[in-house]
Copies of this chain bind each other. A is one copy, B any other.
Amino acid sequence: MRQPMARMRPMAEEPWLDETQQRAWRAYLAMSKRLSTHLGRQLQRKFDLSPQDFEILVNLSEVPGRRMRAADLGRATQWEKSRLSHQLSRMERRGLVGREAVPGARYPEVVLTEQGYAAIVRAAPTHAASVRAMFADVLGPELLDRFAEACEAISERLEEHESDPC
């Protein structure tokens, strides 16, 4: 399987990534594409939920009252406000969440409906099982720790540059 973003030499002259780097980069790209495809497809086909739906549902289900201000939900998911707003509108249309005005407060709260709660309770165990089967169990505890360290290191590096002008 060819992984195009991995080949950094459209003119085949300078080796912008060496052998080791190429291999790792291509392996990572292939793996992450497959993993998200697999998990997303499973959620969609078995539970009629997109990964985005799932993420919102999980966050709401964890909090007491199953309700939250949109801004807090945005912080929890690290989503931009407009993305969140669009997503909530779609989910509201489908009856998974509701937006309810709060008497004294300026902004309404997003609430998990019964239907939304039922959906997450149905889907979560299978999803977790897949994460174990396709990810955690493949590496095992020790490797998993090293893998986590690697991810954290890259994350930190990226975080440093988050405010760069690019």
Q: Which residues of A contact B (CB under 8 A)?
A: 1-2, 4-5, 7-12, 16-17, 20-21, 23-25, 27-28, 30-35, 38, 41-42, 45-46, 51, 54-59, 61-62, 75-78, 120-121, 124-125, 127-129, 131-136, 138-139, 141, 143-148, 150-155, 157-159, 161-162, 166
Residues of chain B within 8 A (CB-CB) of A153 are: 138-139
Pair A30/B151 contact, Cβ less than 8 Å: yes
Describe A's contact surface by its main secondary structure.
helix
Since A1-B78, A16-B129, A24-B145 are in contact, a sample of 5 more A-B pairs with Cβ atoms closer than 8 Å, ordered by chain A residue number, is A4-B77, A8-B127, A10-B61, A23-B148, A41-B166
Residues of chain B within 8 A (CB-CB) of A141 are: 20
Residues of chain B within 8 A (CB-CB) of A76 are: 2, 4
Pair B46/A5 contact, Cβ less than 8 Å: no
Q: Name the distance in Å between A118's Cβ and chain B's nearest Cβ.
A: 11
Residues of chain B within 8 A (CB-CB) of A33 are: 78
> How many copies, total?
2
Q: Name the distance in Å between A36's Cβ and chain B's nearest Cβ.
A: 8
Known: A42-B166, A161-B38. Contact between A151 and B58, CB under 8 A?
Answer: no
Bound-complex Cα distance A97 to B162 (A): 33
Pair B148/A8 contact, Cβ less than 8 Å: no
Pair B128/A154 contact, Cβ less than 8 Å: no
Q: Name the distance in Å between A11's Cβ and chain B's nearest Cβ.
A: 7
Bound-complex Cα distance A147 to B59 (A): 30
Residues of chain B within 8 A (CB-CB) of A30 are: 151, 155
